[in-house]
């Protein structure tokens, strides 16, 4: 058995108890539904060398949420949470637009560079603050970031003096509405960040270290992992993504509204992460899942809007779908689903590999056994991003 090589990817294809599979199925169902109900949904046309159409819209509108969700995934993987991203987003937008608005030459690249640089620096400082509260002072993440969530919008209003600041700058126009190789600049930037994060955490040991911190910070520290630095870093990183998202969303409308910008985006980002199958209990994360989660959320909105569902029902519809996804992910319900599958295969003991496992299932060993004995399977399971469905 063990000589049959199975990559995590091969396992993911069949592992029905993995939340990522469910998320992918949900997204697929949504898209199929669109294809049937509204055949024009997938029509992508090229105009002036740029792509237009509903799918592109979904990608573009999902970009800021996805960007923050990527940072949020890492935070949640360390068993934390960051509620302040919406406030950081608002502050970043407020700072950059106040600088452009106040400069003598708003359209010069130098002004734009200063504005962007300052906004990102402010974002980093706020992240350092959150990280300090969580990792050094030792305050519960939800409360530590609640402080900035409450005060942050006030700070943003302080910067803008309570006004909605409008400003035009070529760099910001590009950031908000520009295109790179036919794709919206926001999408390209988000993909870039996603790829860097994926490479840094999945091609090095960093991802495993983050998961170790999330599983048990104290054990990780005793094992030689710098828990404190890692925790601190993920909070700085998520604030950075929020600051970038702040530049994007405010540039998109060429205005900074301290009150409304990024309202509830922290909830959307957390939802995207959770729908993607990353447990709030920390210790495991899936970037693929987060991407799917963010796309599901946006596709849901776009679908309801293009279907002509009255505006009032969009929120209710979204809420019902989200609740359905959560219920599917509930440990008890998933355990029940898993039990039925295992029962059908007639596996009784983790020590005896199922004789027909290879026939009806590509996975020869680990996941099936893991599903049977969660306690013993934990240490030797591969740190695949998608395995947590089996283990939890």
Partner 1 sequence: MTVTDTAPAPAPQRPGRSAGRSAYAWLRRTDTGSSTFSVLVTAVLLVVLFGAGTVRYENFGYPQVALNLLVDNAHLIVLAVGMTFVILTGGIDLSSGAVVALSTVVAASLLEKGWAAPLVIALVLAIGTLLGWAMGAAVHHLQLQPFIVTLAGMFLARGLCFVISEPSIPIRDDLFTGLAQNVVELPGNTYLTYAVVIALVVVAVAAFVLHRTRFGRTVYAIGGNEQSAGLMGLAVGRTKVAVYAISGFCSALGGLLFSLYILSGWSLHAIGMELDAIAAVVIGGTLLTGGSGLVLGSLLGVLVLGTIQSLISFDGGLSSWWTKITIGLLLLVFVVVQRVTTRRRR
Residue 171 CA to chain centroid, in angstroms?
A: 26
> Tokens 């990024």 sit at which residue?
262
In the list 4, 44, 305, 313, the residue contacting partner 1 (rule: CB under 8 A) is 313
Give the 3-state secondary structure of 195-253.
HHHHHHHHCCCHHHHHHHHHHCHHHHHHCCCCHHHHHHHHHHHHHHHHHHHHHHHHHHH
Output the smallest distance, CB 47 to partner 1, in A.
34
Cβ neighbours of residue 366 closer than 8 Å, sequence gap 6 or more: 6, 11, 377, 380, 381, 382
DSSP β-ladder status, 179-180 and 45-47: unpaired
Q: Of 42-50, 55-63, 146-154, 210-218, which part binds partner 1 (CB under 8 A)?
A: 146-154
Count other Cβ atoms within 10 Å, centred on residue 150: 12
Got the DSSP string for 136-147? Answer: II---HHHHHHH
Nearer to partner 1, 24 or 148 (CB): 148
Output the smallest distance, CB 153 to partner 1, in A.
6
Do 253 and 176 meet the contact criterion of CB atoms below 8 Å apart?
Answer: yes
Residue 139 found at the interface with partner 1 (CB under 8 A): yes
Output the smallest distance, CB 209 to partner 1, in A.
24
Cβ neighbours of residue 79 closer than 8 Å, sequence gap 6 or more: 141, 213, 214, 217, 281, 282, 283
Output the smallest distance, CB 36 to partner 1, in A.
25
Nearer to partner 1, 190 or 302 (CB): 302
In the list 99, 119, 149, 239, the residue contacting partner 1 (rule: CB under 8 A) is 149
End-to-end CA distance of the chain: 25
Output the smallest distance, CB 89 to partner 1, in A.
16
Nearer to partner 1, 148 or 187 (CB): 148
Nearer to partner 1, 60 or 79 (CB): 79
Nearer to partner 1, 55 or 123 (CB): 123
Residue 305 found at the interface with partner 1 (CB under 8 A): no
In the list 43, 316, 352, 382, the residue contacting partner 1 (rule: CB under 8 A) is 316
Do 17 and 338 meet the contact criterion of CB atoms below 8 Å apart?
Answer: yes
Nearer to partner 1, 29 or 280 (CB): 280
Give the C-alpha separation, 115 to 96, whole Å: 4
In the list 114, 128, 157, 198, the residue contacting partner 1 (rule: CB under 8 A) is 157
Residue 25 found at the interface with partner 1 (CB under 8 A): no
Output the smallest distance, CB 213 to partner 1, in A.
19
């Amino acid at each position: 058995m063990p000589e049959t090589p199975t990559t995590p990817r091969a396992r993911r294809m069949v592992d029905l108890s993995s939340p990522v599979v469910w998320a992918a199925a949900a997204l697929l169902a949504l898209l199929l539904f669109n294809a049937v109900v509204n055949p024009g949904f997938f029509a992508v046309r090229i105009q002036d060398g740029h792509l237009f159409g509903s799918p592109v819209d979904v990608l573009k509108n999902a970009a800021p949420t996805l960007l923050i969700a990527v940072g949020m995934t890492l935070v949640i993987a360390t068993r934390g949470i960051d509620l302040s991203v919406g406030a950081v987003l608002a502050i970043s937008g407020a700072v950059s637009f106040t600088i452009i608005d106040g400069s003598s030459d708003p359209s010069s690249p130098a002004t734009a560079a200063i504005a962007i640089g300052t906004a990102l620096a402010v974002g980093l400082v706020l992240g350092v603050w959150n990280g300090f509260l969580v990792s050094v002072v030792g305050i519960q993440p939800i409360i530590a970031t609640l402080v900035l969530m409450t005060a942050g919008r006030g700070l943003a209003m302080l910067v803008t003096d309570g006004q909605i600041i409008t400003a035009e700058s070529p760099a910001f126009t590009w950031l908000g509405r520009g295109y790179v190789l036919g794709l919206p600049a926001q999408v390209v930037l988000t993909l870039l960040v996603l790829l860097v994060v994926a490479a840094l955490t999945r091609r090095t040991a960093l991802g495993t270290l983050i998961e170790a911190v999330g599983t048990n910070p104290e054990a990780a520290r005793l094992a030689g992992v710098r828990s404190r630095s890692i925790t601190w870093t993920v909070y700085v990183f998520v604030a950075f993504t929020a600051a970038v998202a702040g530049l994007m969303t405010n540039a998109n409308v060429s205005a900074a509204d301290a009150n409304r910008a990024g309202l509830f985006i922290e909830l959307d980002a957390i939802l995207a992460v959770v729908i993607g199958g990353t447990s709030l209990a920390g210790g495991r994360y899936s970037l693929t899942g987060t991407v799917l989660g963010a796309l599901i959320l946006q596709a849901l909105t776009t679908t309801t809007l293009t279907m002509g569902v009255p505006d009032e029902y969009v929120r209710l519809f979204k809420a019902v779908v989200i609740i359905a996804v959560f219920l599917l992910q509930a440990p008890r319900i998933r355990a029940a689903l898993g039990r039925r599958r295992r029962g059908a295969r007639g596996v009784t003991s983790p020590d005896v590999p199922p004789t027909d496992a290879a026939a009806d299932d590509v996975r020869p060993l680990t996941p099936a056994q893991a599903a049977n004995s969660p306690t013993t399977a934990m240490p030797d399971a591969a740190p695949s991003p998608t395995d947590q469905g089996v283990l939890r």
